[in-house]
Structure formats: C-alpha cells, structure tokens
Amino acid sequence: MFSSLPGRIRRSTVFRLTASYAFLYIASSLVLFVIAYVLLTQVVRSQDQKNLSDKLNEYAYIERTKGLGALIEFIRRDTAEYEEPDYFVRILGPAGAELFTVAPSGWELPPRAELDAQARDGAQWWLWGSQKAGGGVYEFSARRMSGGALVIVGSDARQREHLLSEFQVIFLFITGTVVVLGLGVGVVLARRTLAPLRDLIAAVNSIGRGSMDARVPTRGADDELDELASLFNSMLERISTLIQGMRDTLDNVAHDLRTPLTRAKAVVEVALQGNHSREELREALMDIAEENERIRATLTTLMDISEAETGAMRLDIARVDLAGLLEECAELYEDVAQENAVELALDLEGDLHALADAGRVRQVLANLLDNALKYSDVGGRVTVHGRREQGLVLVTVRDRGVGIAPEDMPRIFERLYRGDKSRSRRGLGLGLSLVRAVLAAHGGAIAVESEPGKGSAFTFSLPGA
C-alpha cells in the first residue's frame, strides 16, 4: 500500500499539472536569468577589453610609424608618470626574447613560459587567476607588431570578476527562489484548475450514494470547465425529471393494471363460490374478457407509442380524404355525445385530402374526440374544424370543458401522465402520447391552447395531398 503511494501521486492529474506549470515557469525564468547574466558579463568585460584593445592599437601605431625602440621608450615614459603602473606590458622580440616588461607591484603574475606561450599561440583574450586564497585575477591580450615583435598587455580583473561572482551568488539565490515559487505557483494553479473536476467528482459520489439533488457549483468563470459543470447539471436535471417520470409512470401503470386485474380476480372468486347458472358463468367470463381487453389495450398503446417514436411503426401512406374520416368519427361518437348531453358539430372547409395512414388517423381523431367529450360539461359543445393552409391539412378539435391547468400543459403529451390526479374520469393517460407519436411519424405535429374553465383546442397538421 505504502509502496504504491508515490506511483499514485505521480499518476495524479494534480501532480502532472503541477510539474508542467512548475517546469514551464522555472525553465522560462532560468532562460531569462541566464540571458541577462550572459549579457551583463559581456557588457562588463567588453569595457575592460576595449581599454586593452585601445592600448594595443596605440602601441601598434607607434611601432609602425616610429619603430620598436620608440614604442619601448613611450611605454617607459608613460609608466614613469605614475607612482605605480596600473597595467602590465611585456614586449618580446621577433625571436621570442624578452625586450621589455613593466608590471604593477603586488601582481602575482602567471609563469612566464605559460604567459608567453598563450601569446605566441594567438589567444586574443585570456583570464588567469591565482590559486591562492584571495589571489588576483588578471586578463591578458597580445598582438604581433608589424616588425615581428609581440606585445602582451594585461589589466587587473579582480574587481570585475568579484562583481560577477556576486551576481552569480545572487543568480543562484534567485534560482532557488524561482524553483520554490514555481512549485508553489504550480500547486496553486493546478488545484484551482482542477477545482471544478473535484466538485464534479464530489457530485458524482453523492449521486452514487443516492443523493439525486447533488449539483456541481459553477464559478462564473465562463470557461470550458464551467460549461462542463453547467452541462452536467443540466444532464442531472433531465435525469431527475426522467426518474420522476418513470416513478409516476410505474405508479400509473401499476394502478391502471391493478384495477382490471382486481376486478377479474373478484369475478373469478365469485364464480367459484356456490352454484351458478350457465348464464351467470358466461357473464362472469365476459367481465373477465372485458378487463383483459383493458390490459391488452394499455400494453398495445404503449407498444404503438414506442414504435412511432423510434420510427418502427408501419404506416400505409396513401391519399386519404380527411373530410370523410372526420364525418365517420363524428357519427361514431354521436351516441356518446348524446349520452353526455354534449353537442358535436363539424366545420369542414375545402379539399381535405392528406397523405396519411387512414387507420392511424382514426386513432388520432378517436382519442381527441374521446377526450373532448369526456371533459365537456353537460350542455357543452365540441367542434371539429377542418381546413387547408399552406399545403397542410389542419384539424382543430375544440371543446368548452374544464380546460387544462397551466402546470399540466408542458406534460400532457407524456406517457401515462394524468392531469386528473384523483382519477375521477376513466382513462389510461396514453391517448395524447399516442396522438403526438403517430402524427410525428406522419411528419405532422400537434399543438394545444387551453384556459381552465373555458375549454381546450387541439390542432394537428398532416401533409396535404
């Protein structure tokens, strides 16, 4: 367990992001510091080297115009003006013999052979430092004169190199600070970046423990992770709605199936008790068959809705006269309308031929008319209005019944949804779901307008023919 802990840390996203942030921060900072140090070193050294180059240029001019002896005399007079010369000069003859040397007292010079060898090898600039603690550091340059003599000049570089050494210490201190700061910044940025993911994981864990009300907090950053949190919350809302819908559906299905099953069971139990005539037993079987038909109708309607919504419903599309279908359905429901003391009227305009499956359209009309008559008050009126608009056949079924509550309007087309929670009116809660699914399979649509206490109007469309 403990041996796998470093591996888990290395595999964690926080560690990888921290390492990435820290590497980029430290690497970029170090590159900038190195560039700054190199530029500073070049600027500081170039000034001293320019002074030595100016001297060599001056000596070369004197040697070329006046000769080597005049150059030696010039250097001797120049250094004599000062109590202590502040630079080193050595002149070697064309054969390598030492002709002249002047050096400040106290300088710990490099071995003569080493210095002369560097000059003869053509080294333009070189540093030499004493091995002793607190020893000097000197910079030398050399140039071959026109007559073959070799002039070596040098200056004290202790102060300059000490300054650069201090800069190196400062640079190392800053480097350490940058490393620590880079790691700290990396951890902070990684944790802030992954905070929405941690919230997401916490929400998922809460949901896994059964808390469906858990949500991922959004931070208002309007970035990709905030968008992910919003989308995840929207998905949870939809899932919660679906789960609640499933619970309601199961409750409704259980109720709608339990009622006919209970009735059938009661009929069977009564039939089994005592002696009954053949006619009584026949009536009991008819009651059982009727309840069985209710169960079959519920299941068949559910299967029809699923087939229509998934595109698996078989439709026999043909040119259908909706006017004839409307008259046929109105005649079929005329007796029901008279029983409920409701007036059923048709209002048909123009050519109402449509491309549709006649059998399925009958289902649509039957469900809409059944609902309109069921929810109409005594003495009410149901009107069926057919017309043609912009290549579509439109049919409106309007009643003056109880209407639909505003809170029920968004859900009336859901499977098994019953706005009548008391179930005072008989029904499966599947009719409108089937209507919408069948119309969608035809390429049509349905809309509803309703006001509580004043009635409802359902309008559906089908492609005209």
Q: What pLDDT is stored for residue 422 in this prediction?
A: 38
What average pLDDT does this structure show over 244-259? 67
Cβ burial 335-362 (10 Å sphere, 16+ → b, else e): eebeebebebeeebeeebbbbbbbebbe
Contact 89, 152 (CB under 8 A): yes
CA separation for the pair 38, 26 (Å, rounded) = 18
DSSP readout, 121-165? TT-S-EEEE-SSTT--EEEEEEEE-TTS-EEEEEEE-HHHHHHHH
pLDDT in tens, 308-342: 666 666 778 889 888 888 988 888 888 888 888 88
Average pLDDT along the chain: 80
What average pLDDT does this structure show over 363-372? 87
pTM over 0.75: no
Instruction: Read off the pLDDT band of 105 (50, 70, 90).
Output: confident
Q: Where are the domains of the chain?
A: 5-164, 224-309, 314-463
Q: Which residue has the higher pLDDT, 252 or 7?
A: 252
Q: Which residue has the higher pLDDT, 246 or 152?
A: 152
Q: What pLDDT is stored for residue 12 in this prediction?
A: 65
CA separation for the pair 56, 65 (Å, rounded) = 14
Cβ burial 292-307 (10 Å sphere, 16+ → b, else e): eebeeebeebbebbee
Q: What pLDDT is stored for residue 272 in this prediction?
A: 76
The listed CATH number (3.40.50.1240, 3.40.50.300, 1.10.3720.10, 1.10.287.130) that belongs to domain 224-309: 1.10.287.130
The listed CATH number (3.30.565.10, 3.10.20.90, 3.40.50.300, 3.30.420.40) that belongs to domain 314-463: 3.30.565.10
Q: Please give the CATH architecture assigned to the domain spanning 5-164.
A: 2-Layer Sandwich (3.30)
Lowest average pLDDT, out of 99-113, 237-251, 426-440, goes to: 237-251
Contact 17, 178 (CB under 8 A): no
Q: What pLDDT is stored for residue 459 in this prediction?
A: 93
What average pLDDT does this structure show over 391-404? 88
Read off the amino acid at residue 99.
L
Q: Of 3-17, 67-81, 276-290, 414-428, which one has max mean pLDDT?
A: 67-81
Beta-carbon contacts of residue 234 (< 8 Å; ≥ 6 apart): none
Whether residue 202 is predicted with pLDDT greater than 90 in this model: the reply is no
Instruction: Read off the pLDDT band of 14 (50, 70, 90).
Output: low
Nearest alpha carbon to residue 163 among 34, 45, 32, 39:
45
Helix/strand number for the chain, H first, E second: 11, 12
Share of the chain above pLDDT 90, in %: 8
Strands 87-92, 98-102: pairing kind: antiparallel
What average pLDDT does this structure show over 163-177? 84
What average pLDDT does this structure show over 126-153? 84
CA separation for the pair 421, 321 (Å, rounded) = 38
What average pLDDT does this structure show over 412-431? 59
CA separation for the pair 294, 301 (Å, rounded) = 11
Q: What pLDDT is stored for residue 250 in this prediction?
A: 67
Q: What pLDDT is stored for residue 58 in this prediction?
A: 92
CA separation for the pair 414, 305 (Å, rounded) = 10
Instruction: Read off the pLDDT band of 34 (50, 70, 90).
Output: confident
Q: What pLDDT is stored for residue 2 in this prediction?
A: 44
Instruction: Read off the pLDDT band of 129 (50, 70, 90).
Output: confident
Read off the amino acid at residue 452.
P
The token pair that represents 307 in the structure block: 């087939």
pLDDT in tens, 55-98: 899 999 999 999 999 999 998 888 777 767 788 999 999 888 88
Strands 318-321, 98-102: pairing kind: unpaired
